[in-house]
């Protein structure tokens, strides 16, 4: 009987491929490879580069213990990325796409997220924490007594972030010539995933309220730092994208916490929000606060949007027509994909992927004709020798709703034998499982 996956093998033998980014000319792919070492408390990561079809994979940036978030400059000549190389915290570095020395643009004691090149390639927008009690980011005095904590807000801490008090993620701007970085915002809430308007004058970003359980769309004037908040304070915003002409922003969210997103269109000239759907039959991939980024929509033209979304727990690409409000499936998969990097010339989207049969994959989906191909599969050899759980899917009906479910079976499953059954119930907040590789159920099935 084949040996099943164990917690040890899942953590230390499997590696992750994520955050694929295709070059502006569509020829070269960047992605982040992550793994764990038995003698280290934190995972490691490095930036890899490959041909657009996944061939010729090679290390691009691996100095330090963690390098990630590689982003192409608009002209494809440079690559920016985040690394913990150096003596203190994390840094943004930029290097020639053809190889060479990396130049440090900014450094922070805390994390750096959401790198976004300005359209002219002169500036990088990103988010990092700002502490009003430590504006110079010097950190605590090691010889001083522990500070007294005075808390005046209910969202003073958060999972995966710890004690926050008034520390929040602000938007920063770094000059790509290495001449310095500065804060653009100084608000009492978090910002995530800044995106430049086509003319480079404004940044759209996700505003997180109440530890990400509620949110709005934020528009930030790059010249002044003035913030405009779009949408109701107790609503949600998950995904968003500028229209090609910069006159509108499509976003997925809701006016209250229903946990079912709809699509909205914000018009910058009239400052009005138009609700485009009332019962969207898919769930846009909004990621999860502090855990995973969203898969942002892509405008194919002035009237059509490509929407990465889930239905029945499985990933798909859907074409949404702004004028007719019609939603059409382009390609669906019995898998779970995340992220999105679109090559407009070839009509191809790149995403990280996993399924019940594998993990550590990068997939490429062409729109015409619709076709999905695994182009990077980092765990194929290991899972060939140590297979994941066998599986089957079924549906149950409750209160008139069809609910998708899966059964994972141990390797060498014999239907003539009896086995103990573990019922794995997702906790809170509201979410779901799907046909992706989920470590805990895999470990239980392999036990």
**446 domain-assigned:** no
Taking residues 385-393, what's their average pLDDT?
A: 94
pLDDT, mean of residues 210-215: 86
Residues contacting 436, CB < 8 A, separation 6+ = 335, 336, 354, 355, 356, 359
In a domain, 424, yes or no: no
**Rounded to whole angstroms, how far apart are CA atoms 366 and 331?**
9
Would you state the pLDDT for residue 4? 86
**The domain containing residue 38 runs over which residues?**
7-139+150-388
Which token pair is 20? 């694929």
pLDDT of 320? 98
Query: Is 356 part of any domain?
Result: yes
Residue 108 within a domain: yes
Q: Does the pLDDT of residue 51 top 80, yes or no?
A: yes
For the chain, give the percent of residues with pLDDT over 90: 79
Q: Categorize the per-residue pLDDT at 431 as very low, low, confident or very high, splitting at 50, 70 and 90.
A: confident
Q: Are 334 and 325 in contact (CB under 8 A)?
A: no
Digit-coded pLDDT (tens) for 279-331: 999 999 998 766 678 999 999 999 999 999 999 999 999 999 999 999 999 99
Domain count for the chain? 1
pLDDT (average), residues 243-270: 95
Contact 351, 295 (CB under 8 A): yes
State the pairing for strand pair 327-332/336-343: unpaired
Instruction: Find the range with the poorest average confidence among 88-92, 144-148, 427-431.
Output: 427-431
Instruction: Tell me the per-residue pLDDT of 1-22, one tens digit each, with 9 for 90 and over.
Output: 668 899 999 999 999 999 999 9
Q: CATH number, domain at 197?
A: 2.120.10.30
Q: What is the pTM of this model?
A: 0.94
Q: Is 412 left (phi over 0), alpha (psi -120 to 50) or beta?
A: left
Span 407-424, average pLDDT: 91
Q: Report the C-alpha gap between 355 and 333 in whole angstroms.
A: 9
In a domain, 444, yes or no: no
- The confidence band for 75, taking pLDDT boundaries of 50, 70 and 90, is very high
- The pLDDT of residue 1: 61
- What's the whole-number average pLDDT of the chain? 94
For residue 428, is pLDDT > 80? no
Identify whether 376 is part of a domain.
yes
Q: Does residue 401 fall inside a structural domain?
A: no
Assign 432 a pLDDT band (cuts: 50, 70, 90). confident
* In contact, 157 and 167? CB cutoff 8 Å: no
pLDDT confidence band for 156 (50 / 70 / 90): confident
Least confident among 104-113, 255-264, 343-352, 379-388 = 255-264
More reliable by pLDDT, 424 or 338: 338
Quote the CA–CA distance of 249 and 240 in Å, as a whole number.
7
Q: What's the pLDDT tens digit per position in 319-368?
A: 999 999 999 999 999 999 999 999 999 999 999 999 999 999 999 999 99
Q: Is 180 in contact with 197 (CB distance < 8 Å)?
A: no
Q: What is the pLDDT of residues 230-241, one digit of tens each?
A: 999 999 999 999
The reply to whether 279 falls in a domain is yes
């Amino acid at each position: 009987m084949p040996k099943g996956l164990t917690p040890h093998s899942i953590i230390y033998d499997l590696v992750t491929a994520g955050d694929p980014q295709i070059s502006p000319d569509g020829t070269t792919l960047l992605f982040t490879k992550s793994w764990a070492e038995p003698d280290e408390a934190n995972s490691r990561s490095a930036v890899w580069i490959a041909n657009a079809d996944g061939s010729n994979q090679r290390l691009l940036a691996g100095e330090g213990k963690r390098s990630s978030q590689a982003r192409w400059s608009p002209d494809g000549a440079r690559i920016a990325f985040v690394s913990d190389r150096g003596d203190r915290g994390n840094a943004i570095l930029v290097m020639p796409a053809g190889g060479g020395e990396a130049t440090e643009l900014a450094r922070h004691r805390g994390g750096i997220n959401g790198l976004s090149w300005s359209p002219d390639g002169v500036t990088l927008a990103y988010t990092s924490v700002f502490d009003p009690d430590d504006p110079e980011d010097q950190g605590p005095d090691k010889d001083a007594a522990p500070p007294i904590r005075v808390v005046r807000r209910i969202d003073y801490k958060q999972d995966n972030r710890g004690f926050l008090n008034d520390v929040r993620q602000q938007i920063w701007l770094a000059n790509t010539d290495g001449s310095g970085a500065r804060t653009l915002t100084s608000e009492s809430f978090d910002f995530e995933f800044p995106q430049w308007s086509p003319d480079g004058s404004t940044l759209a970003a996700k505003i997180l309220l109440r530890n990400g359980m509620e949110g709005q769309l934020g528009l930030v004037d790059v010249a002044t730092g003035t913030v405009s908040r779009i949408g109701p304070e107790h609503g949600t915003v998950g995904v968003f994208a500028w229209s090609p002409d910069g006159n509108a922003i499509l976003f997925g969210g809701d006016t209250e916490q229903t946990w079912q997103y709809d699509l909205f269109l914000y018009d910058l000239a009239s400052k009005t929000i138009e609700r485009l759907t009332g019962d969207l039959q898919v769930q846009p991939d909004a990621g999860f606060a502090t855990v995973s980024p969203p898969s942002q929509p892509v405008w194919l033209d002035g009237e059509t949007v490509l929407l990465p979304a889930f239905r029945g727990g499985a990933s798909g690409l859907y074409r949404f027509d702004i004028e007719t409000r019609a939603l059409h499936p382009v390609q669906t998969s019995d898998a779970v994909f995340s992220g999105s990097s679109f090559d407009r010339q070839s009509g191809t989207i790149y995403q990280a992927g996993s399924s019940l049969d594998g993990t550590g994959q990068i997939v490429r989906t062409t729109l015409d004709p619709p076709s999905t191909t695994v182009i990077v599969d980092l765990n194929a050899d290991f899972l060939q020798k140590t297979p994941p759980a066998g599986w089957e899917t079924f549906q149950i009906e409750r209160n008139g709703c069809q609910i998708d479910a899966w059964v994972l079976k141990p390797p060498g499953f014999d239907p003539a034998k009896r086995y103990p059954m573990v019922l794995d119930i997702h906790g809170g907040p509201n979410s779901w499982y799907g046909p992706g590789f989920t470590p805990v159920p895999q470990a239980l099935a392999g036990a």
